[in-house]
Amino acid sequence: MEKIAQSYSDTPFMGAATARIGITDALLQLASRYADRHANADGLAATPVEGVVILREAAPSLLQYAISKPLVALVLQGGKRVTMGSHSYDFGAGESLLITMDVPTVSQITIASRAAPYYSLVMELDAAVIADLAGEMGGQPARLDQPVRVDQTESDVSEAALRLLKLLDRPSSLPVLGKQMVRELHFWLLCGQHRHAIRALGVTDSHTARIARAISILRANYTQAVSVERLAYAAGMSLSSFHAHFRSITTLTPLQFQKQLRLLEARRHMLSDGAAISQAAHCVGYESVSQFTREYTRMFGQPPARSIREMRLQAQSAMKREG
């Protein structure tokens, strides 16, 4: 495997496309070996590197709803579709999903099988690392851009990701080199085609960072009523400006954003913790179970009981196929 991982740099006359394929193959071998050993029932393989996980799915999935944090996902095998608002993105091996803002997404793994599972390497974007790097790299514009994008994975990013994954086979190196490799990945992303949108995450006074401060309050207090005035104050904006920027970035109003957080958390309680519908509803701040049921059905397309039953049946089928 080491020979495969090094082959792209050992052949000086190798074409760029061939080199890219070599790197992707090496990434896939390292990621699949780790994920096959460590993935949990949800297909998530946590790594010792904070903010870095590997996803593995052996079959196409149901629709998955989330309010995603800023991240980059390098797809190594299989295919996926992600929808934000009216925009849908289909992508596969050799491509990357970049999310530069907390936004609601609906995703679905579209290409995966027991013989060829879906694998992707996911890293959360760290605003503090971005701010530090941006300061060292000098002044460049930071601007709000489409918060969800899909493109070919750039070679510098792939090579840095490969060096990071190699550390998983040498755990003693992680305390010394793990953060350094994560920092390097951020650096190459800041050098890439979406550098301006990524840079905005690290600029304290950018609209992206201001709205992010308000979103952090909503995430921490999603079960409680949070006034828009408090959110606008945290963002350092007038009420009208805050409403406009919040919606332009997230596609939702603050109230809709909080509602989705509540429903997603309630769904997690029912699916993972076995909570009853009424228990899950009250746990996330609903006083009326009937209101919770209506809003859950509106968001997920099915009432809670049927939705959870189908998700559990699919999970059981996937486990049987794996076995």
Position with higher pLDDT, 318 vs 316: 316
CB 319 within 8 A of CB 286: no
**Across residues 247-257, what is the average pLDDT?**
90
Look at residue 267 and tell me whether its pLDDT is greater than 80: yes
Instruction: Determine the pLDDT at residue 87.
Output: 86
Query: To which residue do tokens 């909080």 refer?
Result: 258
**DSSP state letter for 96:** E
Instruction: Determine the pLDDT at residue 141.
Output: 59
**Across residues 236-242, what is the average pLDDT?**
95
Instruction: Determine the pLDDT at residue 3.
Output: 37
Beta bridge partners of 124: 71
Look at residue 86 and tell me whether its pLDDT is greater than 80: no
Helix (H) or strand (E) holding 295: helix 289-300
| Residue from 183, 155, 128, 127 nearest 9 by CA | 155
Look at residue 6 and tell me whether its pLDDT is greater than 50: no
Distance CA 24, CA 77 (A): 9
Helix (H) or strand (E) holding 56: strand 52-57
Q: How many CB atoms lie within 10 A of CB 155?
A: 14
Look at residue 63 and tell me whether its pLDDT is greater than 60: yes
How many angstroms separate the Cα of 277 from the Cα of each of 60, 139, 225, 266, 302? 27, 52, 21, 8, 13
Q: If you average pLDDT over every residue of the chain, what do you get?
A: 87
Position with higher pLDDT, 272 vs 80: 80
Position with higher pLDDT, 19 vs 113: 113
Instruction: Determine the pLDDT at residue 322.
Output: 58
At residue 117 the predicted structure's pLDDT band, cuts being 50, 70 and 90, is very high
At residue 57 the predicted structure's pLDDT band, cuts being 50, 70 and 90, is very high
Position with higher pLDDT, 46 vs 249: 46
CB 242 within 8 A of CB 303: no
Residue 302: CB partners within 8 Å, gap ≥ 6? 310
What does the pLDDT look like over 10-36, one tens digit per residue? 444 445 555 566 778 899 999 999 999
What does the pLDDT look like over 172-208, one tens digit per residue? 999 999 999 999 999 999 998 888 888 888 777 788 8
Long-range contacts of 214-218 (CB under 8 A, 24+ apart): 214/242, 214/246, 214/254, 215/102, 215/250, 215/257, 218/254, 218/257, 218/258, 218/261
Distance CA 241, CA 236 (A): 10
**Across residues 129-148, what is the average pLDDT?**
77
Which of 83-87, 94-98, 310-314 is modeled with the greatest confidence? 94-98
Q: How far is CA 129 from the centre of its chain?
A: 17
Look at residue 221 and tell me whether its pLDDT is greater than 80: yes
**Across residues 50-57, what is the average pLDDT?**
96
Position with higher pLDDT, 212 vs 314: 212
At residue 318 the predicted structure's pLDDT band, cuts being 50, 70 and 90, is low
